[in-house]
């Protein structure tokens, strides 16, 4: 997953363009920037690379999700269906909008279970937010059909799935809106950053304004621009966008390297009896940043994970016990622990949720290990690691 492994001359060149002019803001200062518009350039490059009409860069993946909530009209009292397995940012954006996160089981895709989604729909449901975890995709055909049938918005959190695709379309560009994160550990990085993508012109125009305090960006005098609605500062800086421009040129190489190394690990693990693998709705579209597999029981999985780490095989994740990625440890959400008063509709909804009702998710996550695929392994290192992983897991089974 981490594009930072490939950081080098290309990124430095782009960043130096910005440092040489000193114009680190994406708007204005036209005369002083000597033609460098890194954020604009990266937005155009993103629309071309991922074949989507519009891209709005933001300061993070989380603010890209918040932007999506705003421009798609999700707010106070609206319900947003999201999975039990994701990163906390998914519900942070929903809660920040004053909306209600409705947690729903995942299935063996490690993404939303469409049956559980349909069962969770109420008259207040406004949006379904699949999260394409660990580089691979949710069942988008089924989810799109559900959204169409019930007239719901589809927002893809593709923060972990840059470069993945489904039936030939880039993840993050298939729903009504989609997001990538360019934080430091994602498939490509800006240091910090994110993007909201859409084919809907109105969402895009609103995103352009919303992420810059509501500035309408008409004319050439920022002070004279009008503010058609409330906004925030979710801007990316030119320095961060510059890093992203360098990284984007490396995406194909990142993906092909991930696929090669992922296949090496998988070939070794396939010789181990008793392992099964995450379901991937379109295997050709896996961005291959992780290899996720299942052991037969939770106990065996815990033991295998401990042994992997003990044998120096870091980068193997047992999300079930992770504080940030699985519902089991999200006590701050379950207790609605906030520094400031939340709206009572949200607090009541959280209070009425049975957070122990996710046996299906527990049963899957309890048996899942995700193995991070690094870019800078040599072929030899990947093969050695694969062999060591297979032997370690075999010894536990
Ligand atoms: C990283 C991530 C985000 C948030 O991105 P940041 O850029 O770190 O704010 C959102 N959703 C998922 C699934 C992520 O992995």
Contact 105, 84 (CB under 8 A): yes
Nearest residue by C-alpha to atom 10 in ligand 1? 89
- In tens digits, the chain (397 residues) has pLDDT values of 689 999 999 999 999 999 999 999 999 999 999 999 999 999 999 999 999 999 999 999 999 999 999 999 999 999 999 999 999 999 999 999 999 999 999 999 999 999 999 999 999 999 999 999 999 999 999 999 999 999 999 999 999 999 999 999 999 999 999 999 999 999 999 999 999 999 999 999 999 999 999 999 999 899 999 999 999 999 999 999 999 999 999 999 999 999 999 999 999 999 999 999 999 999 999 999 999 999 999 999 999 999 999 999 999 999 999 999 999 999 999 999 999 999 999 999 999 999 999 999 999 999 999 999 999 999 999 999 999 999 999 999 9
Hey, which CATH number is domain 252-396, 1.20.990.10, 3.30.70.100, 3.90.1150.10, 3.20.20.70? 3.90.1150.10
Task: Kindly state the tokens that stand for 359.
Answer: 């046996």
Domain boundaries, the chain: 3-251, 252-396
Cα-only R_g, the chain: 21
Render pLDDT for 181-221 as a digit per residue (tens, 0 to 9): 999 999 999 999 999 999 999 999 999 999 999 999 999 89
Positive or negative, the Cα torsion across 1, 105, 62, 138? positive
The whole-angstrom separation of Cα 356 and Cα 361 is: 10
What is the pTM (predicted TM-score) of this model? 0.98
Query: What is the architecture, at CATH level 2, of domain 3-251?
Result: 3-Layer(aba) Sandwich (3.40)
CA-CA distances (angstroms) from residue 289 to 39, 77, 164, 187, 261? 26, 36, 10, 7, 9
CA of 274 to the centre of ligand 1 (A): 32
From the list 242, 203, 232, 187, the residue with the least C-alpha distance to 43 is 242
Residues identified as active-site: 186
CA of 159 to the centre of ligand 1 (A): 5
CA of 160 to the centre of ligand 1 (A): 7
Angle at 160 between CA 157 and CA 165, to 5 degrees: 80
Tokens 């209600």, located at residue: 100
For a mutational test of ligand 1's pocket, the pick from 64, 85, 134, 183, i.e. the residue with the most ligand atoms closer than 8 A to its C-beta, is: 183
Q: Closest ligand 1 atom, CA of 133?
A: 13
Side-chain half-sphere exposure of 131, counting CA atoms within 13 A: 27
Task: Kindly state the tokens that stand for 288.
Answer: 């291959």
Assess whether the C-beta atom of 183 lies below 6 angstroms from ligand 1.
yes
Assess whether the C-beta atom of 194 lies below 6 angstroms from ligand 1.
yes
CA of 185 to the centre of ligand 1 (A): 10
Decide whether 3-251 matches 252-396 in CATH topology: no
Nearest residue by C-alpha to atom 6 in ligand 1? 61
Q: 275-293 as b/e, with b when 16 or more CB fall inside 10 Å?
A: beebebbbeebbbbbbbbb
Assess whether the C-beta atom of 135 lies below 6 angstroms from ligand 1.
no
Contact 225, 87 (CB under 8 A): no
The whole-angstrom separation of Cα 161 and Cα 168 is: 14
Note the pLDDT of residue 242. 98
User: Could you tell me the end-to-end alpha-carbon distance of the chain, in angstroms, rounded to an integer?
Assistant: 28
């Amino acid at each position: 997953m981490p594009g930072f492994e490939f950081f080098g001359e290309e990124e430095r060149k782009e960043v130096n363009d910005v440092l040489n002019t000193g114009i680190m803001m994406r708007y204005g200062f036209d005369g002083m920037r000597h033609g460098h518009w890194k954020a604009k350039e990266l937005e155009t490059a993103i629309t071309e690379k991922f074949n989507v009409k519009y891209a709005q860069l933001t300061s993070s993946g989380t603010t890209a999700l918040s932007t999506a909530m705003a421009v798609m009209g999700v707010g106070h009292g609206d319900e947003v269906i999201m999975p039990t397995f994701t990163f906390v940012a998914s519900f942070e954006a929903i809660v920040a909008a004053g909306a209600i996160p409705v947690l729903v089981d995942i299935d063996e895709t490690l993404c939303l279970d469409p049956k559980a989604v349909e069962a969770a729909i109420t008259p207040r449901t406004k949006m379904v937010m699949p999260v394409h975890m660990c580089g691979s995709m949710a069942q988008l055909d089924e989810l799109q059909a559900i959204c169409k049938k019930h007239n719901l918005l589809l927002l893809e959190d593709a923060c972990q799935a840059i470069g993945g695709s489904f039936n030939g379309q880039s993840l993050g560009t298939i729903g009504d809106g989609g997001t990538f994160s360019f934080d430091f550990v994602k498939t490509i990085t800006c240091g910090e950053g994110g993007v909201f993508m859409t084919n809907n012109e109105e969402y895009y125009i609103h995103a352009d304004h919303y992420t810059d305090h509501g500035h309408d960006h008409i004319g050439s005098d920022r002070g004279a621009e009008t503010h058609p609605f409330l906004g925030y500062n979710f801007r990316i800086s030119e320095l961060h966008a510059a890093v992203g421009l360098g990284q984007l040129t490396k995406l194909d190489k990142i993906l092909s390297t991930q696929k090669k190394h992922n296949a090496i690990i998988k070939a070794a693990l396939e010789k181990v009896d008793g392992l099964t693998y995450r379901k991937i709705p379109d295997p050709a579209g896996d961005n291959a940043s992780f290899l996720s597999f299942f052991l037969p029981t939770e106990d065996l999985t815990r033991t295998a994970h401990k042994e992997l780490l003990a044998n120096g095989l870091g980068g193997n994740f047992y999300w079930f016990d992770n504080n940030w990625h699985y519902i089991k440890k999200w006590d701050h959400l379950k207790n609605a622990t906030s520094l400031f008063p939340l709206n009572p509709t949200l607090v009541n909804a959280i209070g009425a949720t049975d957070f122990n009702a996710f046996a299906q998710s527990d049963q899957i996550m309890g048996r899942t290990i995700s193995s991070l695929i690094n870019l800078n392994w040599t072929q030899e290192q990947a093969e050695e690691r694969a062999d060591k992983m297979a032997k370690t897991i075999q010894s536990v089974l």
